[in-house]
Amino acid sequence: MRETKALRAKRGQAVFERLSREYPEAHCALDYTTPLDLLVATMLSAQCTDAMVNKITPTLFARCKTARDYLDIPREELEKIIFRSGFYRNKAKNIQGMAAALLERHAGEVPRTMEELVALPGVARKTANVVLGNAFGIVEGVCVDTHVGRLSRRLGLSPKEDPEKVEQDLMDLFPREQWFLLTYYLIEHGRAVCDAKKPECAACVVADLCPKRGVPRPKVVDD
């Protein structure tokens, strides 16, 4: 029997409430001081763990404190500093393109609107949501990273693969005041329990609410 949107939203609320109790300290794991720090760190986090980004950024932030610093640093030096984040050449290009755009359009400051942020090189809605929510307390949507996307599909909250379509489904299901924390509850649960390859369903606080869509089946070993 197909689940109605109303029933899915009700189940989503139960998931939210349980995860809120399980991860009361859930928050953005990236280390930063300024909005520019957070913007750069989030750009580096693409296809890279937050833990690795936090190992890279102390050196980077000591070297580059302003948009002008990011634009003026030699590309080779920037690439060397961020090498361990992966895709370092493309990330260095985007960071310097972003810095140039900040200087040209925003007097070197990080803008506070979704429209202006996503117009920057290398910045999509995921990154913009992180910066707006954490640096400015502005919630425009749900940040859909790999954890949020995976759990949304497994929990039957969205069947979509495209992050922006997943985000829209979540925004339709949950009230606006829950969007910010929903991101971090799902991320924490994805890291702690709902692993991509080996989810610990027996230890999951929302197991009875989860249709387990896309959960890898255990291999059957013949005697």
List C-alpha distances in Å: 135 to 162, 167, 216. Answer: 25, 20, 37
- Host H or E run for residue 104: helix 88-106
Contact status, residue 134 vs residue 112, Cβ threshold 8 Å? no
List C-alpha distances in Å: 193 to 1, 32, 61, 155, 215. Answer: 28, 26, 32, 13, 12
Contacts of 219 (CB under 8 A, 6+ apart): none
Contact status, residue 138 vs residue 128, Cβ threshold 8 Å? no
Q: What are phi and psi of 158, to 5 degrees?
A: -155, 135
CA 195 to chain centre: 16
Residues acting as catalytic residues: 126, 145
How wide is the angle at C-alpha 57 spanned by C-alphas 56 and 58, nearest 5°?
100
